[in-house]
Structure 1
């Protein structure tokens, strides 16, 4: 990403007016932006005035006149689709609640909408001004400046555009107006939400990334990038610094391109003919390079490149970028795609990303979500379309999280036979834009040029030619499915389901989505938020239907037929745990269900990475997050309140983890670090539901191999087990300290799958585990103490839980509350949650959060379990 020096904004206060008629005024409007003041500077339009063409009927020449009065238009943020902007301005009520979104009038978005902004400029002689659109305007657009139409954009969501407006910009007040056309993802290479959520009524029409004004001298610098080559011994690296330099004049010019990588300086002279563009290529060598690693494997150092082009000793243009030095490769291993980073195998364990439904930009939420990714223990995020703004990639670079962007399925992107010549052009330009935007980020693991299908030969060529412009180096993957394309070859991926409910032992199977190969999108479907979140989004009737009517479609499930009803999830929950007796009982049993199956999914892939035949090489949980409040496909829900889905995955993804295998009852140690860990021991205890110990063994002097899994002894099956029983695994270091703790609730009756009846989205069951004994544990008693420390803008609350009763205290959940009777605080990261402790045992949990999220209230801690009544205690300052 280009990062240039910013000049101060001269922005007036912007009101949030509703959409009402506007007219023309003879008086000049007060300009809201100052254009770049010197060569090499860039300013970003900080916001817009927005109006429907039903009201603003005068046309582009009038609307882009500096004297036009837009005071009655609606003020919206810089990155605003039409509906996203209107929501930000308060035009609609709570569109997250119940079916309110359904009531938005879609006819409002069947006509174009206008964006408008004014700015002052004082261009100096010999300078050049450029208008940059850092993406396509969804639906296509007309661009007007000072009464003149300066260009159009196609219907693609991604291709960037740059217009030389030197002859149109004038000293004083200028006005920019952009007419955004209606969007149709079924006929355009746009953005589509498939079966992820309800569809936004405006189909995301409008501006969704930055619009900028840039000032340069005679020569411009564009597309700064760094090609890296790391030696096999990792002790040196060669860099090739590249950029396009363009002569904007009608006469020959000589420019000096100079820069630094950290403190190492370089320069090169280039002679350009009239209006000529050349690619500058400058070689640099690094000894003992600072290598960038995924966070599980090492550190995330970044290098800084600063570059400028000078003419006659005066800077004409400049650019800068951060980049990382690392080597990423992929290969096919026993049918599965295997990645290596700096020569080390990487077991991909990730989640599928979703942007906000209305493509609204919220840097804090973006940061919070990526912080959750790392807290969970995931190492990768896959983006199927919705490629997100630059900030996501910058955050991933700093956090050491790998990213796998690519195009989306099930829309015009895969309707290859319908594409026109113009569509092929948009496809190639989309690859050019995204390639140049992303290629410097060390967090990029690969790029999917196909999703559910591989592209045809012609389309593949479009994409490969487009990515080649950026000197793309990361692996290019033909499809997320079992597919291949002529040049890219076999994908090494599988997407054989499931997408809906399956029991934990499914993941240990050897068919479909079982833990072998590279599963690009799999998950157990419904993921029910906890009660606080549910009551924010669902009406009383919807809450009642949720647990009592699995055959009724829910608006907060999918618009698709396959995923619109809880169906098999509710059936399995009732048969395995007992039919829900109330909403709270349903929510509690859903957390148990989500926890156990999510833990099993990641544990199975973790264990099987070291198999000699058909090893597991990667898994993308479908999905990580939601674009809008939904009841399925997430590890954390829209409210950011982590619940059973989150903590089941977090348990499985701990960096050094002891786990139970549902297929052969073996214990496995999974180590995500590169170094082996020795001097360990594993204590395995089996309990009946009445708390009696049926077996207690310890395996000593255990070593966990680095970057892999180690299989240990099998868990015994002692006589006299209750139908529902517990297995507790404690991993200890050489001093006897517990470094990992894992509790399973199991049944002597197995979940049985009907593999022959599998569909593309699920595998039904013929028999169910009997976990109903968890309803008869007897009342547990837990003592709770909590204290809080605050440093800077963050607080940490420590919670000690002690089982002071005679019964197991099962599945205890701690939450931070805003005051003694306030709502749940989010976002928050917990060291652990949903813990189970036996009489005399204690565990201490730790929560970290922004103090401001308390809203001035004092932190309280609420603790409740399956058989432990809720209690709330103050988390006093320490």
Structure 2
């Protein structure tokens, strides 16, 4: 994985380093970073000094003077929106807690802010230095170097910019100053959070991506990319290596463009007239290529391309990129978008991504979140705007997770009728930048050029022309909704809801968001974190309202009135499970609710992928994560503490999985692998709430078809069932070992819905399952044995749970605690959690985590269940 410290950094592999002022020197006039010192080198600005224009009232010429004293300015990281930088510098308190974010003074961000950095340079004769902005400055900007205005950027967030600063650069100390203008997502192709969260007071104005200095000789190399064509049998592949080479001089020059794909060399001579740019195109052929696959289907080998341009035998510029050899295609299947990867059907089961609310870059949290994606069993991430940094795509390449980036909804991005000519220019440039940035990543599954609507013809042309510059190969999708655009055609997507609470059996229906077709963003709305996380973010009064006042708006829900109150979720929870008696009781019942409905969402799409009519081709859970602590739309909350939402989804996404169908009571086997699994058996046991076995059957000699679902016998309906009852499914291999285990709590009374009164986000519930019997299970007893092993910087804790009582031990939750009375450890990956076991039955769970996250404490395991009192045992390392 590409884990990296948050300490400001440079490309040290190229021999570049920070320039540290001498002790006692005036830091204001000392360079803080060295410019590149040889052709082909790139330096990333490692950090900035930040100041509001209310205080820094001088002109850009003055502020970019190397002698200007910025010692009173605020030091911020390299990628820092204005608020992101101020937060990192400790200028605010805990903006995650209660309504503290509301108290930030928005007027501070109605004026420009200045970013400043100094650097040393010693440019060689004939060298050319370029200032590169890898993406736009949000809100637009002026750029000044050594007292000279070298350019401006438009208001677009995405277009990259490059300025030749050779004539402005000085030997010795240089100063760069960038004036960032206020951002307005209602009038600019900027960043918007719509109804996802409370909004950042600065609208994310400022620098959010890297600013770089690059040096070359007479010829530069840009936009290095590889076009791949893979044979149908995967036994060969043709590559076309492409790049733009530019002559930076006023005289004709011949450059030798040479390099390697892994160890295979290539070269081509190119003659350029004065200031000319040409596209170099070099063909390569691979026999028996190392083919890249999504992780469920195979391995993730990457090739490395190194390329340089030389003049008179000396390297003038160089470039390098990793790429993968794979084939991705999309087509309409019964009107629904469907994908194949390397010729094999690919059922998309993913989540909607959110960046940090202040666009802060945290490499460790990024890596932890992608670990969660893979641990969950998700295979795809959809990004609606906020396309994330390059590191995320590199991680996805290595982990085998597919990515679906695209533009966002409901802001100026979809106010097509208000666009001016400049907006069309920004839109096209955005597509160029993102196409060139993303196209080499084998993890890219497709690109959405529209979200809630398809773009009109003129806008579609902007995007298609822009993506064409990068030789874009992945599918281009007109919209995440059921829509069509003139060239791209029908989207094959649906986004008919739900976005709010619905019961598990909803997913098995044949209407709206049910498990058919490609659902680009659907989910059951509220996802309540566990108690530890809730108490980090909510005040005592907010915690009280959470379970007692469903009609009151919660600040940690959405600013949109549609999603600001728990409302129908709290009503359904009370009617199905019994009215909450306390905060702890509410949290326990919320975990049950989130677990069962999330499991059903993924199980239903998994089962229906093999239907002959109206098959399920993909589903994106709305959403995967949150930009800021919220109580809805996530599979794991902002604290990274996995709860019922997480483990319900994880259960439904297991690679070889036995599951119950809420519509026809059938049992299904879902296999995500490319090979069939034979010699299996499925044991189905039905229990009354008191533990009485009502039915116990085994279906033997079962085969799970490859990359699909297999329907088996139906679950019996024996007489004398209690109103609330259990079904346990055990999938066993030929030796009788349990491969998969799944427990359902069901009701003889069905949940019912009023589809006729559905809205775009909700389907009202009219009848409720009776699961109140779970409140009267009797006291369960569980023995807990735990031990920990440590290897390198990781620890693994094994937890054996044994039901030593006479009652079912229902919905047991194990957590690792920091010491006997410490807080919950997160992030952490568990083999399973929230498990149910019957008398005499045992289950062993394992948890993996960073040892350092214990903070020096000894690991303890806390176990509690719906009817099992909490207990804590030591899990000290062996």
| Common topology (TM > 0.5) | yes
3-state secondary structure, aligned to 1:54: coil
2:16 paired residue number? 8
Q: Displacement of 1:335 after TM fit? A: 1.2
2:564 paired residue number? 564
3-state secondary structure, aligned to 1:712: strand
2:584 paired residue number? 584
3-state secondary structure, aligned to 1:628: coil
3-state secondary structure, aligned to 1:562: helix
Q: Distance in 2 between matches of 1:775 and 1:826?
A: 30
3-state secondary structure, aligned to 1:431: helix
1:715 paired residue number? 715
3-state secondary structure, aligned to 2:293: coil
Q: Displacement of 1:631 after TM fit? A: 0.0
Q: Distance in 1 between matches of 2:321 and 2:31?
A: 31
Over 3 Å counting, the alpha-carbon distance change for 1:537 and 1:266 in structure 2 is: same
Q: Displacement of 1:814 after TM fit? A: 0.2
2:814 paired residue number? 814
1:424 paired residue number? 424
Q: What pairs with 1:678-697 in structure 2 (closer than 5 Å)? A: 678-697=678-697
Q: Displacement of 1:26 after TM fit? A: 10
Q: Displacement of 1:6 after TM fit? A: 3.1
2:438 paired residue number? 438
Contact 1:3 1:319 in 2 (8 A): no
Q: Distance in 2 between matches of 1:120 and 1:309?
A: 26
Contact 1:156 1:190 in 2 (8 A): yes
Q: Displacement of 1:28 after TM fit? A: 6.2
1:288 paired residue number? 288
2:7 paired residue number? none
3-state secondary structure, aligned to 1:609: helix
Name the TM-score, length of structure 1 as normaliser.
0.98
Q: Distance in 2 between matches of 1:634 and 1:28?
A: 45
1:532 paired residue number? 532
2:213 paired residue number? 213
3-state secondary structure, aligned to 2:699: strand
Q: Distance in 2 between matches of 1:333 and 1:489?
A: 14
Q: Displacement of 1:11 after TM fit? A: 4.3
Q: Distance in 2 between matches of 1:848 and 1:697?
A: 35
1:606 paired residue number? 606
Q: What pairs with 1:849-864 in structure 2 (closer than 5 Å)? A: 849-864=849-864
- Kindly provide the CA deviation profile for residues 450-507 of structure 1, in whole angstroms up to 9, marking residues without a partner as x: 0000000000000000000000000000000000000000000000000000000000
Q: Distance in 2 between matches of 1:412 and 1:752?
A: 39
Over 3 Å counting, the alpha-carbon distance change for 1:146 and 1:3 in structure 2 is: closer
Q: Distance in 2 between matches of 1:758 and 1:211?
A: 48
1:354 paired residue number? 354
3-state secondary structure, aligned to 2:405: strand
Q: Distance in 2 between matches of 1:415 and 1:424?
A: 12
3-state secondary structure, aligned to 1:876: coil
Q: What pairs with 1:402-481 in structure 2 (closer than 5 Å)? A: 402-481=402-481
Contact 2:290 2:301 in 1 (8 A): yes
1:493 paired residue number? 493
1:755 paired residue number? 755
Q: Displacement of 1:13 after TM fit? A: 8.5
Q: Displacement of 1:7 after TM fit? A: 3.2
Contact 2:21 2:30 in 1 (8 A): no
Matched, 1:674 2:668: no
- Kindly provide the CA deviation profile for residues 579-638 of structure 1, in whole angstroms up to 9, marking residues without a partner as x: 000000000000000000000000000000000000000000000000000000000000
- Kindly provide the CA deviation profile for residues 435-464 of structure 1, in whole angstroms up to 9, marking residues without a partner as x: 000000000000000000000000000000
1:137 paired residue number? 137
Q: Displacement of 1:233 after TM fit? A: 1.1
3-state secondary structure, aligned to 1:337: strand
1:19 paired residue number? none
Q: Displacement of 1:877 after TM fit? A: 1.5
2:804 paired residue number? 804
Matched, 1:731 2:739: no
Contact 2:21 2:27 in 1 (8 A): no
1:18 paired residue number? none
Q: Distance in 1 between matches of 2:525 and 2:490?
A: 28
Over 3 Å counting, the alpha-carbon distance change for 1:26 and 1:91 in structure 2 is: closer
Q: Distance in 2 between matches of 1:627 and 1:502?
A: 24
Q: Distance in 1 between matches of 2:333 and 2:740?
A: 31
1:549 paired residue number? 549
Q: Distance in 2 between matches of 1:859 and 1:768?
A: 41
2:6 paired residue number? none
3-state secondary structure, aligned to 1:554: coil
Contact 2:507 2:515 in 1 (8 A): yes
Over 3 Å counting, the alpha-carbon distance change for 1:12 and 1:567 in structure 2 is: farther
Q: Distance in 2 between matches of 1:346 and 1:3?
A: 38
Over 3 Å counting, the alpha-carbon distance change for 1:12 and 1:107 in structure 2 is: farther
- Kindly provide the CA deviation profile for residues 373-395 of structure 1, in whole angstroms up to 9, marking residues without a partner as x: 00000000000000000000000
3-state secondary structure, aligned to 1:70: coil
Q: Distance in 2 between matches of 1:679 and 1:721?
A: 32
Q: Distance in 2 between matches of 1:567 and 1:357?
A: 26
* Contiguous gaps of at least 5 residues in structure 1: 16-24
Q: Displacement of 1:211 after TM fit? A: 0.2
Q: What pairs with 1:510-521 in structure 2 (closer than 5 Å)? A: 510-521=510-521
Equivalent residues, number:
869
1:189 paired residue number? 189
2:876 paired residue number? 876
Matched, 1:242 2:248: no
Over 3 Å counting, the alpha-carbon distance change for 1:27 and 1:666 in structure 2 is: closer
1:46 paired residue number? 46
Q: Distance in 2 between matches of 1:265 and 1:254?
A: 20
3-state secondary structure, aligned to 2:29: coil
Q: Distance in 1 between matches of 2:420 and 2:302?
A: 42
Q: Displacement of 1:59 after TM fit? A: 1.1
Q: Distance in 2 between matches of 1:475 and 1:88?
A: 39
Q: Distance in 2 between matches of 1:401 and 1:6?
A: 30
3-state secondary structure, aligned to 2:368: helix
3-state secondary structure, aligned to 1:229: strand
Q: Distance in 1 between matches of 2:512 and 2:424?
A: 34
3-state secondary structure, aligned to 1:87: helix
Q: Displacement of 1:242 after TM fit? A: 0.1
- Kindly provide the CA deviation profile for residues 245-276 of structure 1, in whole angstroms up to 9, marking residues without a partner as x: 00000000000000000111000000000000
3-state secondary structure, aligned to 2:444: coil
Q: Distance in 2 between matches of 1:399 and 1:863?
A: 32
Contact 2:28 2:70 in 1 (8 A): no
1:22 paired residue number? none
Q: Distance in 1 between matches of 2:436 and 2:354?
A: 22
Q: Distance in 1 between matches of 2:875 and 2:22?
A: 41
- Kindly provide the CA deviation profile for residues 815-857 of structure 1, in whole angstroms up to 9, marking residues without a partner as x: 0000000000000000000000000000000000000100000
- Kindly provide the CA deviation profile for residues 746-784 of structure 1, in whole angstroms up to 9, marking residues without a partner as x: 000000111111110011111000000000000000000
Q: Displacement of 1:280 after TM fit? A: 0.1
Q: Displacement of 1:4 after TM fit? A: 9.8
Over 3 Å counting, the alpha-carbon distance change for 1:301 and 1:4 in structure 2 is: farther
Q: Distance in 2 between matches of 1:28 and 1:335?
A: 63
Q: Displacement of 1:30 after TM fit? A: 1.2
- Kindly provide the CA deviation profile for residues 772-813 of structure 1, in whole angstroms up to 9, marking residues without a partner as x: 000000000000010000000000000000000000000000
Q: Displacement of 1:8 after TM fit? A: 2.5
3-state secondary structure, aligned to 1:825: coil
Contact 2:684 2:727 in 1 (8 A): yes
Q: Distance in 1 between matches of 2:500 and 2:139?
A: 33
1:222 paired residue number? 222
- Kindly provide the CA deviation profile for residues 186-245 of structure 1, in whole angstroms up to 9, marking residues without a partner as x: 000000001000000000000000000001000000000000000011110000000000
Over 3 Å counting, the alpha-carbon distance change for 1:605 and 1:126 in structure 2 is: same
Q: Distance in 2 between matches of 1:462 and 1:28?
A: 44
- Kindly provide the CA deviation profile for residues 68-111 of structure 1, in whole angstroms up to 9, marking residues without a partner as x: 00000000000000000000000000000000000000000000
Contact 1:4 1:319 in 2 (8 A): no
Q: What pairs with 1:96-111 in structure 2 (closer than 5 Å)? A: 96-111=96-111
Aligned-residue CA RMSD (Å) = 1.3
